[in-house]
Amino acid sequence: MSDEAFVTLVASDNYVLGGLTLAYSLRETNTQRKLVCLVTHKVSQTIRDRLAAAFDEVVAVSELNSNDSVNLDLLCRPELGITFTKLFIWKLTQYKKTVFLDADTLVLKNVDELFDREEFSAAPDVGWPDCFNSGVFVCVPNLDTFHELVELSENTGSFDGGDQGLLNEYFCDWSTKDIHKHLPFVFNLNANATYFYAPAYKRYGKDAKIVHFIGAAKPWMHARDANGVLHADNAEHLVEHLDLWWACHDRHVQDINLPQSFYPEEYVPSASAGRQQFSTQWYGGVASHSSSHSTQPPASGFAAIEAKLNEAMGGKREYKQASPTTGAQNSGGKVPAAGLSEELESKVVLKKKPEESA
Amino acid sequence: MSDEAFVTLVASDNYVLGGLTLAYSLRETNTQRKLVCLVTHKVSQTIRDRLAAAFDEVVAVSELNSNDSVNLDLLCRPELGITFTKLFIWKLTQYKKTVFLDADTLVLKNVDELFDREEFSAAPDVGWPDCFNSGVFVCVPNLDTFHELVELSENTGSFDGGDQGLLNEYFCDWSTKDIHKHLPFVFNLNANATYFYAPAYKRYGKDAKIVHFIGAAKPWMHARDANGVLHADNAEHLVEHLDLWWACHDRHVQDINLPQSFYPEEYVPSASAGRQQFSTQWYGGVASHSSSHSTQPPASGFAAIEAKLNEAMGGKREYKQASPTTGAQNSGGKVPAAGLSEELESKVVLKKKPEESA
């Protein structure tokens, strides 16, 4: 399968941690495909060398930028103009077929079956589901397609200022022509789905294969404390997926010893640190619970989210006992593969609500 | 076309205003199909008589309730158990084909083309887009289907406690089998789409045919003041669609003079009333603007939303001049058809932010 590859884009140092963790999450699924990373001039040679240790191929490309500040401001994501660089995947003609994965995705299970799909296959976007989300897609490298996309970007532009608006304009029959080009949502699971439609997540979330951390705050931007404990203020519904991402990072990326500047500042715990507090708001209303860290360490991934859902529903608690917390950010402690373990060590601690700080 | 019908459900007095306004919004599109309203024992004979003036047929059915408080609590919509009553549409075998519309939908353009679709056709749900939203769907009445659905509800139940979870369980190949059974999103436009993915709404929103007021707060629950001015606190992104709903209500429903108990309490304006204030928060960030009512009366529907988007984007203002505000809640003033007019009188005034009240 040397003529098929998973491809991602690291357009700046801001996405290096994402790209590396994505690569190792793919390795953990024993993929039989090549791993390719596109990089721009903004990524230093030192970092390219680190990426080369994780990917089979690191390909330098020039930066493509929509420079569409108007639509990007409307999207409130001014940084997304450079995602046009993603178009270079169509120039990788040494591969018969490629699967693009955004650097803010995490692979939980083997997804080599994606190469059975045709161009252009993608999953629906939750914001406007007649559009596909361009964080995960199947395509066939072809220079004509590349030039047509570049021409479209120059003549028509992108309705959202990023690659997604442009690609939806080009592959405009995606929503109406061929159901087989609709990837199941679990191949590009918006990490916020736990919030938008909790019962559906409870029903189908166990089949999640690729989780996509959509939004401005990426996993590597959420601070951890000196004990490696994640503090995900205002992202409580993401904590279990964030924990899976950090667990994969800790297994493979932290040993690379990237400069500390690549990481958020260490979180300084408040007086409430060490006590566990969940507060989960579901779409359409609120359901919340709290539990004592000393008595209710959470399980990982779907198991813990399901347990929290059950608890929010008044059902029985199904947390599995986790091992004691040890993992400082740079410790080498190994934990089981992301998405496969019920015993994954918990590093999730949310700050107590103010009214509970007394 | 007497053998095809649009069908809605008024399961309690809480949805009478929705059902009536939906019916008249359909009438305004000159539909050639019958209009049918399902009612339960909770709807009085007096109200049934009012509904009979708007619909071709009012059908009394018994209430079906999932009584699934566990999943409904997770969905934070305990009232949705009775949506199982919707299943009675499959017993309307006097019709060869039916299109169900939730009573919290508003039809903006003629949608008779929906009858060209087969069972089971529906649009994706934004929360989990491999599920369809059951607020708008095409089905073929059939007693066997009805009994199979009731049996499924008794044996398996609904994963969300409402009809949507049950119907997605029954029509479980919707997401994978036939693209022609995927209704375009504009036939069941989540009113929150203006918030979730603003650029896509700007690109495709002008094609909206049916808007769906998903969520606990329905249009008829948003208070208006003595001048008929809508006050949509915490729902600024909905105001233009809410205004279309109230405009249709004012054209047809207010003359019915339903008891005042069907309406929210009159909003008592603050010192800031009379000055127009928009504050629109987009998914992923914030973009807001304010404009003086005296100089910038908004246009209706998509035109005004597009104008607000353009303004949020720093583009030129494209508001069209509206006629002076006159419409008290019970005035009989006529205005053009919802969704068809650029000149629709504006009744949208949002309260000033506290810091601007000085």
Q: What is the pLDDT of residues B182-198, one digit of tens each?
A: 999 999 999 988 878 88
Interchain CB distance below 8 Å, A313 and B74: yes
Q: Give residue B245's pLDDT band: very low, low, confident or very high (50, 70, 90).
A: very high
B124, B161, B314 ranked by CB distance to A129: nearest? B124
Q: SS3 for B111?
A: coil
Looking at residues A168-177, what average pLDDT do you find?
98
pLDDT at A268: 76
- Rounded to two decimals, the pTM is 0.78
Omega prior to A187 cis, within 30 of 0: no
Find the closest chain B residue to A187 by CA distance. Answer: B130
A76, A128, A131 ranked by CB distance to B285: nearest? A76
C-alpha distances out from residue A241 to A106, A208, A310, A320, B96, Å: 9, 11, 18, 17, 47
Question: Is residue B66 predicted with pLDDT exceeding 90?
Answer: no
Chain A contacts in chain B segment 10-69 (CB below 8 A): none
> ipTM above 0.85?
no
- According to DSSP, the residues that pair with B225 across neighbouring strands are B267
Q: Give residue B229's pLDDT band: very low, low, confident or very high (50, 70, 90).
A: confident
Domain boundary assignment for chain A: 4-184+335-356, 189-313
Q: Quick one: what percent of chain B has pLDDT higher than 70?
A: 74
Question: Is residue B323 predicted with pLDDT exceeding 80?
Answer: no
Looking at residues A197-226, what average pLDDT do you find?
91
Average pLDDT, chain A: 77
Which chain A residues have a beta carbon less than 8 Å from that of B199? Answer: 71, 74-75, 159-161, 165
Chain B interface test: which of A69, A72, A74 (most B C-beta within 10 Å): A74
How far apart CA B175 and CA B168 sit, in angstroms, is 9
H or E stretch at B49: helix B45-54
Terminal Cα distance for chain A, rounded: 60
pLDDT at A306: 53
CATH architecture assignment, domain B4-184+335-356 = Alpha-Beta Complex (3.90)
Q: How many other β-carbons are positioned within 10 Å of the β-carbon of residue B76? A: 18
pLDDT at B180: 98
pLDDT tens-place string over residues B270-318: 655 443 333 222 222 222 222 222 222 233 445 555 555 555 444 332 2
CB B158 within 8 A of CB B165: yes
Secondary structure (DSSP) of A127-172: SSTTSEEEEEEEE---HHHHHHHHHHHHHT--TTSSHHHHHHHHTT
Chain A contacts in chain B segment 68-97 (CB below 8 A): 70-71, 73-77
Q: How many other β-carbons are positioned within 10 Å of the β-carbon of residue B42? A: 14
pLDDT tens-place string over residues A57-112: 999 998 888 777 777 676 677 777 788 899 999 999 999 999 999 999 999 999 99
pLDDT tens-place string over residues A318-356: 222 222 222 333 333 222 222 222 222 222 222 222 333
H or E stretch at B27: helix B16-27
pLDDT at A302: 54
Chain B contacts in chain A segment 96-155 (CB below 8 A): 123-131
Looking at residues A237-256, what average pLDDT do you find?
92
Sign of the torsion formed by the C-alpha atoms of A325, A326, A331 and A336: negative
CB A128 within 8 A of CB B196: yes
How far apart CA A73 and CA B313 sit, in angstroms, is 7
Q: How many residues does this entry show for chain A?
A: 358
How far apart CA B272 and CA B293 sit, in angstroms, is 12
Token pair, residue B331, equals 């005035």
Question: Cα B357 to the chain's mean position, in Å?
Answer: 33
Chain A contacts in chain B segment 281-320 (CB below 8 A): 282-287, 309, 312-315
